Structure 1
């Protein structure tokens, strides 16, 4: 039996909220759609290859991001899953080091082959003399999803601490994180120093993660439908003054890195909408077809997320070699070709996922290393994706990713205990 099949067959459906699995799969598949609309490959009047972002030129794009910026919901759902896993681990006698070790491995393992791929591809492209400007444009786009590894890895590393805060003072934790986010944004926009906003990798994403904790505790389930509707409406209404009177962009993708307070409002609104849709989603997840799709994609979720942009770029480039297969970006024919390319991208990812996807599957590992080893490995795993988030992907950052991520995987996955395992 395959690893994915073993994982699927071991899931106790009676204890799992399948609507949240569906939400995670939906978030990632929607990210693929958005990025597909970002990549336009064509030629200019001189015949030179040009990579553009057609969707950015659409007047409706900023408004659509209020719905299409779905990553806050992913962190909410991730918070739910993280707290549930943490509590289960504690009941079994586990602790913080074991939790962080396992979660960092689940991020580092699938990232390692991707960094290796980028070292090879970008290195060869540089050696053969590809136009540096074009290569940097492609690399910047291809590496854009890697911010997630830094942000989500940070949330996972602090998960045991934040779960403790939540247990002792859930409301005070929300207030403290919100206050920190407000102070960071105030300093960032009053000084004009964008880098100050990096502190909100901590405050904003950990606050959004807390919403997932409250979801796991049943707070959203205890609200009536009209209360959820009011909270969701108020959350989206707050975005209006924030993006008109306030300093924030109406484009929620601009507000993503460094993360800003509008993402908090989006997260709360999306959590309420998710709860409102739960009866419909639960009915959908009672069907065999929906379960099959969720488990097939869900078992390869990080693989789909990390590899979809390289695949989009490669397929878009290959289409240039086929007469009529590559319409000029932003033309009606180009827009109509997106659904076809979307299917091709998913099919193209599915095949190689049997190779690179093995790095995503949870593995039987040895004893948990000492806490200091886990901390160092978590930091090593954080650094490459943070560098890419700040200064964009290139062959050197890819090489750093191979070295540091490889070191993290080795440190966390190959530790040998002096005593026999239980």
Structure 2
């Protein structure tokens, strides 16, 4: 009987894979979806690997292995993938806006659809954590602990705000040469670090820094980025990053480290932007082989399903981490890799062993909240189209 159920499950999975593959338009650039999925998953895994919630006498505080074990900085080079997300975002938004104009869809209608897809899932996160914060404070939890947890849970929202602002400005910034925002980042860092100026101009780089890969994405849409461009971006960005870290004093970690005097990401520095250029170049180089690999129906189905819930995964991955950490406290003693200070080599394999548990927690969050992202999608005017995998014969896969 069990073998029969397994066989039926396998057949159902194969049928789902076939439906997704058959529903995909032949001209769809599958590699773009794969790059977006990889960027989201890179951020999720990076946070799970470098964020430790450690209990102490004052409550809970966040620690990072990158502070105690700085030689682990290359981990941040692999999993800090936001530049790729902005590259894809600029490419997709520019293409979508051009298509909307060709159809006669107005800017307001186009923008409403784009932003609704970003912010519909946000409401659930805000409501849940507002209630959770109130309950924790009412139960006697320390203000510092509540602040730590809420800040960690809502930290992904800064990214959405920047991305939404750039999306809204797409008609204005789509034709900006990426060298212009790059020059802004260079001059801001020169004021901050080279001339000993105040730190507040660094926040200009929150817009300028992410505008660089976003405008690269728009240039990609216009056909201005070739394979040669990918090599130039990869080699030039990598060389600039190495020089800035080795000789200009920039941190080696491409993510923020608690207690560090300078963060490459908060706000973005010239080193982070140069590193992002290298990542964008690599993305352009792997696009064609990635597209060939995604002709396999199973590989493409996995990518398509991740993209259907990309914002849900992104918004709830920190909550999943904290839920597992909180449940682990019921064990009565600190669990290695979960509650212990990340100051030794043994912490690394212990934390890796927790990754499947974090993934299970995220799966619970996904099951509970995915409808906030998927429920409003459809084929309305100017809007994206999406495969409804539960239907026997969907007409199309979601348009970028």
Q: TM-score normalised to the size of structure 1?
A: 0.74
Separation of aligned partners in 1, 2:93 and 2:380? 22
Deviation at 1:333, TM superposition (A): 5.8
Determine helix, strand or coil for the equivalent of 2:240: helix
After superposition, the Cα gap between the structure-2 partners of 1:325 and 1:186, relative to the gap in structure 1 and judged at 3 Å, is closer
1:12-57 per-residue CA deviation (whole Å, 9 max, x = no partner) reads 432221112111111111211111123324555x797665323432
For 1:346, the equivalent position in structure 2 comes to 359
Deviation at 1:191, TM superposition (A): 5.1
Is residue 308 of structure 2 the alignment partner of residue 299 of structure 1? Answer: yes
Matches within 5 A, 1:204-219: 204-219=209-224
Q: Over aligned residue pairs, what C-alpha RMSD do you find?
A: 3.0
Separation of aligned partners in 2, 1:367 and 1:296? 23
Deviation at 1:303, TM superposition (A): 0.6
Deviation at 1:115, TM superposition (A): 0.7
Is residue 254 of structure 2 the alignment partner of residue 243 of structure 1? Answer: no
Matches within 5 A, 1:10-409: 12-43=24-55, 51-163=62-174, 166=175, 173-189=177-193, 190=195, 192-220=197-225, 222-224=226-228, 228-246=230-248, 248-253=250-255, 254-322=263-331, 326-327=335-336, 328-330=340-342, 334-361=347-374, 362-363=376-377
Determine helix, strand or coil for the equivalent of 1:360: helix
1:108-146 per-residue CA deviation (whole Å, 9 max, x = no partner) reads 211111111111011111111112222222233223222
Determine helix, strand or coil for the equivalent of 1:320: helix
Deviation at 1:290, TM superposition (A): 1.6
Q: Matched residue pairs, number?
A: 353
* Contact 1:39–1:313 (Cα < 8 Å) also in 2: no
Separation of aligned partners in 1, 2:22 and 2:206? 34
After superposition, the Cα gap between the structure-2 partners of 1:258 and 1:8, relative to the gap in structure 1 and judged at 3 Å, is farther
Deviation at 1:234, TM superposition (A): 1.8
Determine helix, strand or coil for the equivalent of 2:224: coil
Separation of aligned partners in 1, 2:22 and 2:126? 31
* Contact 1:184–1:197 (Cα < 8 Å) also in 2: yes
Separation of aligned partners in 2, 1:294 and 1:325? 37
* Contact 2:42–2:78 (Cα < 8 Å) also in 1: no
Determine helix, strand or coil for the equivalent of 1:14: coil
* Contact 1:89–1:99 (Cα < 8 Å) also in 2: yes
Deviation at 1:73, TM superposition (A): 1.1
Structure 1: gaps spanning 5 or more residues = 369-422
Separation of aligned partners in 2, 1:48 and 1:268? 40
Determine helix, strand or coil for the equivalent of 1:30: helix
Separation of aligned partners in 2, 1:299 and 1:265? 30
Which structure has more helix as a fraction of its residues?
1
After superposition, the Cα gap between the structure-2 partners of 1:41 and 1:64, relative to the gap in structure 1 and judged at 3 Å, is closer
Structure 2: gaps spanning 5 or more residues = 1-15, 256-262, 383-400
Separation of aligned partners in 1, 2:71 and 2:249? 20
Separation of aligned partners in 1, 2:234 and 2:80? 15
Q: TM-score normalised to the size of structure 2?
A: 0.78
Deviation at 1:208, TM superposition (A): 1.6
Deviation at 1:205, TM superposition (A): 1.7
Separation of aligned partners in 2, 1:193 and 1:103? 36
Separation of aligned partners in 1, 2:54 and 2:189? 39
* Contact 2:294–2:300 (Cα < 8 Å) also in 1: yes
Separation of aligned partners in 1, 2:289 and 2:170? 31
